[in-house]
Chains A and B, each alone.
Chain A
Amino acid sequence: MIRITSLNLRFKRGSSEEIQALSDFHLDIASKEFLILLGENGSGKSSLLNCLAGSLFPDSGSIEIDGQNITKYTDYQRSKWIARIFQNPLSGTAAELSILENFRLASQRTQKKLFGIGTNSSFKKQVQEKVARLQMGLENKLDMPIGNLSGGQRQALTLLMAVMDESKILLLDEPTAALDPKSSALLMQLADKIIHDYDLTAVLVTHQLKEACAYGNRIIQMKEGKIIRDIGQAEKEKLKPEDLFHWFH
């Protein structure tokens, strides 16, 4: 599904503070794989995710999706395959737009935004049904500006929005970092369900060892822009948070 070959990324190139964020990085991610990315701050996880999303461009190397080389594609071009959940719950939605309008935009992610009105009653009904499943009581507030909602609610809606249009890949960048424990747990359950229901290939960056243990079918630990551990499903199932804790000490 995703093939990353010899990716190199340096920050502050040529200066004495040069940082090698990704160093001759190779990674193959299979279709429907749910990959957990662990690593200390500065290990290159976020750089990797941003290179995948097209927010950062590598100095060298290539990224392929389904055999297609997308290394030079911009973030909005990659949205054809990739949906994203951001660390900041406010980043995934447009605050002043209504819930319905946010969903409408998401439903056109892979398409051209044209001059028809798509927020009609049948679309509204469709969104209502999806939002009702969150049991947050938002299904009757679709015309409310999404900015009135809490971070947890907005993050959950961002997840639903990710599958409003055809998605293959879901990138989650510490999606629960800004949420309270209860909202975090709910969000991760929702993410897991959506990833399974829609057969998505997912990459989750997290610092929560419990999350890293509970979800996903492959786990990678990064350090200084390289992979230092790569553990598949069978072995991952035996891992406990304590084991992961020792990786960092």
Chain B
Amino acid sequence: MNFYLTAIFLGLGLSALGFGIFISMRIFRIPDITTDGSYTLGAAMTSACIAWQLPLSASLLISFLAGFLAGSTTGIIHTKLKVNALLSGIIVMTALYSINLSIMGKPNIPMMDVKTIFNNGDLFTQVSQWRYVVVFILFAGVLWAGLTYLLQTDFGIAMRATGENETMVRAQGVNTTRMKIIGLGLANGLVAISGFLICQYQGFTDINMGIGIVIVGLGSVMIGESFLRILGIHHIAARLAGIVAGSILFRIILAMALDSGLNTNLLKLITAALVLLFVAVPELLKKRK
């Protein structure tokens, strides 16, 4: 049972990642690989801030801002230097590997005996499960509410329209270049928040923890969308809630796979196959109709 509880916690913790991917891939239609780097960046910043003994609120803010900076760098490379979006992300992701390693100083930083959002800095007292429940639900809930609001404001409408019809949005007085830079910044800031949460949950930051994470985010978004499509809902609040549900479900499916005795080395293969399934099946069903 604990196994599945962990899956739910991870799912909630990774819903910020899902929100980030929703913004980059769904709103702006940019496959943003920066994600792999900005997730680790959020975690690296968190472990650095904790080592500097900054308050957790400061760690959270710094992680978010670092992610925002990484994403907007991709946005600037893409819009101002006219580099293909996918390539822009790969360039920043690659650069982030060195940056993350410099921040961390070593490839792996344990956080078992320091004060984190889940831990009082005391190795021997058992932390109540409720603490996890409260923190994860609080983060997922606040981010869900905040984004639901933001995407319905005039700014949010302009942002959503930018990815859909740039010609129209520019004719409505929106600087789409700036919008993309801000949007990719926001997306990666959210991704970094997931890094902030997960490194504290698992008790360490690892330089490789971001590898393939973009697929996890995409999987959450796609699973959520599959269900909303069945239900025929397209309100923005529901779409964002679907991502949280998708993120949790994704983790549960992986947990079930591992629970059934699957070799953990195959985890990424299963992850990739699962995402492929959720990407391909709706398209195939559409063709049939």
The answer to whether B157 touches A113, judged by C-beta atoms less than 8 angstroms apart, is yes
Could you say which interface size class chain B belongs to?
20 to 34
In Å, the complex CA distance between A117 and B161 comes to: 15
Q: How far is the CB of A229 from chain B (nearest CB, A)?
A: 30
Q: Answer whether residue B167 sits at the interface, using C-beta atoms and an 8 A cutoff.
A: yes
| A-side interface mostly | loop
- What residue in chain B is nearest A101 (Cβ atoms)? B157
Answer whether A145 and B169 are a contact pair too, CB < 8 Å, given A97-B157, A113-B158, A117-B149. Answer: no
Q: What residues on A are CB-neighbors of B175 within 8 Å?
A: 74, 76
Residue of B nearest to A83 (CB): B171
Chain B residues positioned under 8 Å from A96 (CB to CB): 160, 164, 234
Select from chain A the residue with minimum beta-carbon distance to B178. Answer: A76
Question: CB distance B170 to A76 under 8 Å?
Answer: yes
B5 at the interface (CB under 8 A from A): no
CB distance from B36 to the nearest CB of A (A): 27
Comparing A3-11, A84-92, A134-142, A214-222, the segment that makes contact with chain B is A84-92
The answer on a CB contact under 8 Å between B168 and A76 is: no
Partner of B164, one of A76, A79, A80, A94: A94
**By the criterion CB–CB under 8 Å, are B167 and A91 in contact?**
yes
Residue A106 interfacial (CB < 8 Å): yes
Pairwise interchain contact B169-A105, C-beta atoms closer than 8 A: yes
A162: min CB distance to chain B, Å = 9
Does any Cβ of A come within 8 Å of B3's Cβ? no
Q: How far is the CA of A90 from the CA of B164 in the complex (A)?
A: 11
Is B256 part of the contact surface with A, judged by Cβ < 8 Å?
no
| Closest partner residue, chain A, to B164 (CB atom) | A94
Q: Distance (Å) between the CB of B286 and the closest chain A CB? A: 15
**Interchain residue pairs A-B with the least CB separation, the first 6:** A79-B173, A94-B161, A113-B154, A113-B158, A94-B164, A94-B165
